[in-house]
Amino acid sequence: MDAAYFVIAILGCADGGSACTPVATLQTRYATEAQCSAATAAALEKNSNFDFPTLLARCSAGSARSTADALSAERPQPKSRRS
């Protein structure tokens, strides 16, 4: 099933782009993934005020709310320590 639209999510990440956390989902909707991808550099430049070593912009299909939820679920979970 094709996506109805795409949105840009801004992710705050640890050094090296790992352990990313969604910090913003932009309101603008794009009809295609290509249009969304073309807008990520400008979106990242306008949304660079978050306190993380690395910021990423990622296009995701669906609603703004479901995108943030999906990106949150993609975060790597910390490994548990064994005693």
Task: Tell me the C-alpha distance between 63 and 12, whole Å.
Answer: 20
pLDDT one-digit tens code per residue, 8-47: 999 999 987 778 999 999 999 999 999 999 999 999 999 9
Distances 13 to 30, 63, 68 between C-alpha atoms, Å: 24, 22, 15
| Residue 62 binned pLDDT confidence (cut-offs 50, 70, 90) | confident
- Of 1, 4, 10, nearest to 61 (Cα)? 4
